[in-house]
Structure 1
Amino acid sequence: MHPVRRVAVVSTGAVQIHPEHVERTRSPLPWWLLTSRRWTAPRPINVYVIEHEAGLVLFDTGQDRASVTDARYFPRGISGFLYARLARFTIGADETLTAQLDRLGYDIADVRVAIVSHLHQDHIGGLAELGHAEIIVAEAEMAAARQRFAELNGYLRRHIFLPGLRWRELDRGLDVFGDESLTVIPTPGHTPGSLSLLVRQDGIAPLLFVGDLTYDVDLLDSGRVPGVGDEGGLAESTRKVAELSAQHPGLVVLAAHDPAAERLLAAAVSPRSVTE
């Protein structure tokens, strides 16, 4: 049996962040956020697409194009200023989630489950298109998004708590379809409820989608953590990934904004086929 028939990646645009965002330095976040003049080269905003025999699954939903076309998308005032300092986005008209799925031969209506690594805006941009799907998220992440000053921690609630969405909140890991092919794993650190997804299928290397636990798998391999999030939590989840790598030889780690992710995924699934 081969329950996972295809694994692919699409990108809903590009993002530039500060180098201190990618790798933690001695400078505290408020300092580099306000003073850094350096920006990385554009990085992808990845959505991972898993065709399972039980239905189409997404890991993350990308960035909403309205974030670059609608001046009202981000908050005003100090919050809006901080969002502008944190990241710069470029999203083309053909880089919406629906358009990118269509490029792979899927309809947005095919999506059965969307697993959201965390609720920052560059991971929840497709939620408005997924009222028909089950949205999996951590309880701790939903709690963080409901806090009084959540906006200052990266949670734009009016783009998260949309009417009609079917949320499934987890307080632990989850075998999504009960066949051990897709396993959700808590990896807090970047946010309190960050999740990763382990994909196992005969014929391809084991895959681990990690959201923003890292922005560069080479940094992750050497134990270096990003500059955004709880340092202790990031370090602990990084150790968890190392343990998973030992348990699953050949594990390929795929992050949301790692420029190497598309190449790494292609190498993991080719030339071996995952179809029956």
Structure 2
Amino acid sequence: MRIHHLNCGSMREIAPATDPDGALRPLPAVCHCLLIETASDGLVLVETGFGTSDIRDPEARLGQDFLGWAQPVLDPEETAVRQIERLGHSPTDVRHIVVTHLHRDHTGGLADFPHARVHLHETEHRAATVTRGDRYPQAHWAHDPHWVTYSGTDGERWFGFDKVQQLTNLPPEILLVPLAGHTEGHLAVAVRRSAGPGPAWLVHAGDAYYYRGEVAPGLPPTPPMFDALQASVETDRPLRLDNLARLRALLAEHPDQVEVVSAHDPWEFRRMSVVDSVGSAA
């Protein structure tokens, strides 16, 4: 399987807390998505970032409060659908979408792929469509997606994480890893690389952390803006910090087997785009 790293939504510029060697110049936050080319199941999109409808009507779709603090660029060329077309694919080639959770900066592109099956944790689906908290934008799924939900009771053990599941009708090289705390039904998505550089497994940890220094030692401190934002949106801080510690241990104990990325760190996105740019043939 070949993996593409896509930024599907630049947002406000983030300045590092400190930058002694000049490696972390200020950069816009990103919406880090993965596009996975499978041999038999079409394209799989992990996260969607902002979509074309968000750009046409941002206030109705994203809300004034979000627009004010996130300051999204809303460039149509950054949408997943446009980037997929530039890679030579049709939007209908995206047969599956996997979302770590249903906050607005992760789901705006769902409507650009109305035919796709949308895979997520059942707890997250319930929170967004039944409880309907104010962080869940109902307009993003008004097109009635084909939801595929996964319970929190099934699954196997994987690198110390429990209840890890394969996705329905998808290759066993793509797994769902429960990683709650940011939201009640938040999860990570693990993808096994076929070949090429880097560890065998790539884990998209969504919003489990915002800055790589939270899981990798030796980096400058977390930018204050990221710290404040995470604290304001997390639903269960002790659980999130516990899962963050587990991610940190995962990287420390299995550096040759597992790589982890998050959704919004712009420096991490740039590094991973280079690592997987040579990819692996499907």
TM-score (norm 2): 0.76
Partner Cα distance (2:34, 2:53) in 1: 21
Q: How does 1:104-119 map to 2 (within 5 A)?
A: 104-119=87-102
2:183 to 183, 191, 201: 191
CA contact (8 A) 2:121 2:149 kept: yes
Identity of aligned residues (%): 26
Alignment correspondent of 1:126: 109
Which range moved further: 141-150 or 41-50? Answer: 141-150
Cα drift, residue 238 of structure 1: 1.2
Letter in 1 for 2:208: L
Alignment correspondent of 1:64: 51
Return 5+ residue gaps in structure 2 as ranges.
18-25, 153-163
| Runs of 4+ displaced beyond 6 Å | none
CA distance change for structure 1 residues 269 and 10 in 2, over 3 Å: closer, same or farther? closer
**1:176-233 CA-partner distances (Å, limit 9, x unpaired):** 3575311111111111111111111342422111111112112233597732302112
Cα drift, residue 158 of structure 1: 2.5
Cα drift, residue 268 of structure 1: 3.4
CA contact (8 A) 2:61 2:140 kept: no
SS in 2 for 1:169: strand
CA distance change for structure 1 residues 263 and 157 in 2, over 3 Å: closer, same or farther? same
Letter in 2 for 1:238: L
CA distance change for structure 1 residues 99 and 143 in 2, over 3 Å: closer, same or farther? same
Alignment correspondent of 1:244: 250
Partner Cα distance (1:149, 1:69) in 2: 24
CA distance change for structure 1 residues 190 and 129 in 2, over 3 Å: closer, same or farther? same
Cα drift, residue 256 of structure 1: 1.4
Partner Cα distance (1:166, 1:178) in 2: 15
Partner Cα distance (1:17, 1:120) in 2: 20
> CA-atom RMSD, angstroms?
2.8
1:210 to 205, 229, 249: 205
Partner Cα distance (1:148, 1:275) in 2: 42
CA contact (8 A) 2:52 2:109 kept: no
2:147 to 167, 176, 180: 167
Cα drift, residue 248 of structure 1: 6.0
Letter in 2 for 1:168: V
Say whether residues 1:233 and 2:216 are aligned partners: no
CA distance change for structure 1 residues 115 and 258 in 2, over 3 Å: closer, same or farther? same
CA distance change for structure 1 residues 266 and 148 in 2, over 3 Å: closer, same or farther? closer
Letter in 1 for 2:247: V
CA contact (8 A) 1:252 1:264 kept: no
Cα drift, residue 68 of structure 1: 4.4
Letter in 1 for 2:177: I
Alignment correspondent of 2:133: 150
Say whether residues 1:256 and 2:249 are aligned partners: no
CA distance change for structure 1 residues 64 and 108 in 2, over 3 Å: closer, same or farther? same
Aligned residue pair count: 246
Cα drift, residue 270 of structure 1: 5.6
CA distance change for structure 1 residues 270 and 156 in 2, over 3 Å: closer, same or farther? closer
SS in 1 for 2:242: helix
SS in 2 for 1:89: coil
CA distance change for structure 1 residues 174 and 189 in 2, over 3 Å: closer, same or farther? same
Alignment correspondent of 1:29: none
Letter in 2 for 1:252: E
Return 5+ residue gaps in structure 1 as ranges.
24-39
**1:81-109 CA-partner distances (Å, limit 9, x unpaired):** 54344411102232222111112222111
TM-score (norm 1): 0.78
**1:246-273 CA-partner distances (Å, limit 9, x unpaired):** 24635221111111233332443365x5
CA distance change for structure 1 residues 13 and 158 in 2, over 3 Å: closer, same or farther? closer
CA distance change for structure 1 residues 107 and 179 in 2, over 3 Å: closer, same or farther? closer
SS in 2 for 1:221: coil
